[in-house]
Amino acid sequence: MKILKFLWEKWLAVARPVGNFQGQVILSFFYLVLLAPLALFLKIFADPLRLRSLRQNSGQAGQAAIRRTNFDKWEHPKQSLEGARKQY
């Protein structure tokens, strides 16, 4: 049993730095090969808020498109300072 414990401790001394290095290599590979090109592609071509179409249609059609959004104008009811402090 002492020999196995000795070998296990030596193995951990070698395996831990190798595992740390391997993790850095795998994560760097993941970032450089998968994540960075995907982010660059989405940065160039994606428009999740549809801002480009609104900017291109800045005339009367663009104003109608702005009115068709699902965002309502929200105004806080005008209350006193004491009413604002009593939120809960």
pTM of the predicted model, to two decimals?
0.45
Both structure tokens of 58? 């800045």
Name the domain count of the chain. Answer: 1
The predicted-structure confidence for 27-71, as pLDDT tens digits, reads as follows 999 999 999 999 999 888 888 777 776 666 665 555 555 556 666
CA dist 84 and 88 (Å) reads 10
Cβ-contact 62, 56 below 8 angstroms: yes
What pLDDT was estimated at residue 65? 56
Q: Is residue 15 part of a domain?
A: yes
Residue keyed to tokens 């160039």 = 44
- Is 83 within the bounds of a domain? no
Q: What is the pLDDT of residue 86?
A: 77
Q: How confident is the model at residue 82 (pLDDT cuts 50, 70, 90)?
A: confident
DSSP 73: P
Q: Which domain holds residue 19?
A: 2-69
